[in-house]
Structure 1
């Protein structure tokens, strides 16, 4: 009888231990954005990689078809409240829909004065306070008396949202993991970030500006819930369009590496001293990861 109770207690303890482990793994997976997390006990090798995706490239155009751009699908889901946006790929702080919309907007630049107008003595000040030649303009108040000039505050410049076609730059964060149980390398996507391209004339900062970062697991839910919009367009066969979630799973896009995890958290172009050197380093990094996977079979 004592042996029976001991065996029952051992079985109950193992069950609780397995449940606790499963719960811990599920919580970790939901917090890092992974859609198909791999248990830590099965991971032999892992390297975090950041990739840039230019949706204007020929191989990426199926994700950027007219009226069904991936940027449109994501932003409309944010506006409907179906998708949570984060400030960065650490996923520790969030944006509300209004902040995301502001990140995707730009202010109309003021036309300013021409060179001829500046040479003639005109200034950017409100012309209602002077006569256009630097002399205060007289204003009459009550009983014909001259009133003090009133300086009017010009209205703020108008703000406009970028077109979805303008948002053609994305950044993907993934863990390249070698699963020793299945003996293969996996691309475990964590996050996708939408960026305002630096090449847009309306982006006066001249640098890429993040609009928002999104968990890949959340994006898969949005793509699956909107199959009529989240389409990877098949240019060869209209009967074989795929869902954007399938396109990511099948890796039906082109990208290039911009950062590999390192102690200083630096991008490749910063490490190697220039954009051109960074492109060469990206090709080398991709080749090194492929060679590592192949070399595993030589032992």
Structure 2
């Protein structure tokens, strides 16, 4: 009987030691090793380099035309601009804050007036005056409130681009020059007043920054295309609002309603027909 009890005690000792052993303490560096949200590490976009535009001389240009377009992010093809995890507007402003992207004054679209980051992003903080009622005296007073601009409210972008015919290669090409997020101004009652560009960014200088950010693709979660790819491959819907003209007027200054839409479509057709007409003659 004593031997049996002794054997039981010897068998229980290892179990008691395990139960009383101190908990394993993770190394300090293990806290930073977060789980991978996927099955592979995404490095393609991070390591990819932007291809430089081919060299172009003034004598290579046989014809060129500047046009201004408007991208409405509410259109189905443009929904990537409103991806909640990273709005396109946030990508632009983040680049400006870090000094990677230079912003230019919206007073002119020729990129001649560079802005400091705090000047370009001044519209991100909007000051409102709200009536506040004191719960004890029931007296009404005005209080100044600072609100951050909701990126979801930036729903349209203005694009400036050049269409040109390169006689060296015999092809019609286009290059985007600038992008401007549009902001809506409202009166004290919240009624729409007008829309204006917040700032301009020079697109060729933004390509490297935009190439590091993927845009949401409805067809696959594989993040192999960047925002730079989206603009270079023109994977967005837009419509023309202005062409270069002697009075520097927009189409809305000249036409209205269906006439303005028809003129915008006509400008598109004139651009694409230029190459065909050139070879036909």
Question: Under a length normalisation based on structure 2, what TM-score does the superposition of the two structures give?
Answer: 0.71
Matched, 1:297 2:249: no
> Which of 262, 266, 276 is 1:280 aligned to?
262
Give yes or no for contact 1:195–1:208 (8 Å, CA) kept in 2. Answer: yes
The answer to which structure, 1 or 2, has the higher relative contact order (CA under 8 A, 6+ apart) is 1
Question: Does residue 96 of structure 1 match 2:116?
Answer: yes
**Does 1:169 pair with 2:147?**
no
Match of 1:67 in 2: 85
3-state SS in 2 of match to 1:232: coil
Per-residue CA deviations over 1:142-190 (Å, capped at 9, x if unaligned) read xxxxxxxxxxxx7762222221111121111011001111111111111
| Partner secondary structure for residue 193 of structure 2 | coil
In structure 2, relative to structure 1, the CA distance for the partners of 1:240 and 1:79 (3 Å cut) is closer
- Specify the alignment match of 2:225 in structure 1: 242
> Is structure 2 residue 68 aligned with structure 1 residue 54?
no
Alignment of structure 1 residues 177-256 onto 2, 5 Å: 177-197=164-184, 206-224=193-211, 227=212, 230-256=213-239
Shift of 1:84: 0.9
Q: Which protein is richer in helix relative to its size?
A: 1
Cα distance in 1, alignment partners of residues 227 and 199 from structure 2 = 19
Alpha carbons 2:130, 2:145 under 8 Å: kept: no
Aligned residues, how many?
A: 222
1:225-270: CA deviation from partner (whole Å, max 9, x where unpaired)? xx2xx22211111125410001111111011000000000000111
Structure whose residues are more often strand by fraction: 2
For the 8 Å contact 2:184–2:192, the answer to whether it is kept is: no
Q: How far does the alpha carbon of each residue in 1:26-50 deviate from its partner, in whole angstroms, 9 at most, with x for none?
A: xxxxxxxx96563211110100000
1:56 shift after superposition: 1.8
TM superposition shift of 1:65 = 1.5
Taking the aligned partners of 1:38 and 1:219, their CA distance within structure 2 comes to 20
CA contact (8 A) 2:123 2:149 kept: no
In the TM superposition, residue 276 of structure 1 has moved relative to its aligned partner by 4.2
Whether the aligned pair in 2 keeps the contact of 1:63 and 1:244 (CA below 8 Å) is: no
Relative to structure 2, which stretch is displaced further, 85-94 or 104-113? 104-113
RMSD: 2.7
Cα deviation, residue 220, structure 1? 0.4
What is the SS of the residue equivalent to 2:121? helix
The higher radius of gyration belongs to 2
Provide the C-alpha distance between the structure 1 equivalents of 2:239 and 2:59, rounded to a whole number of angstroms.
30
Q: Which runs of 5+ in 1 are unaligned?
A: 1-33, 114-131, 133-153
* Partner residue, 1:271: 254
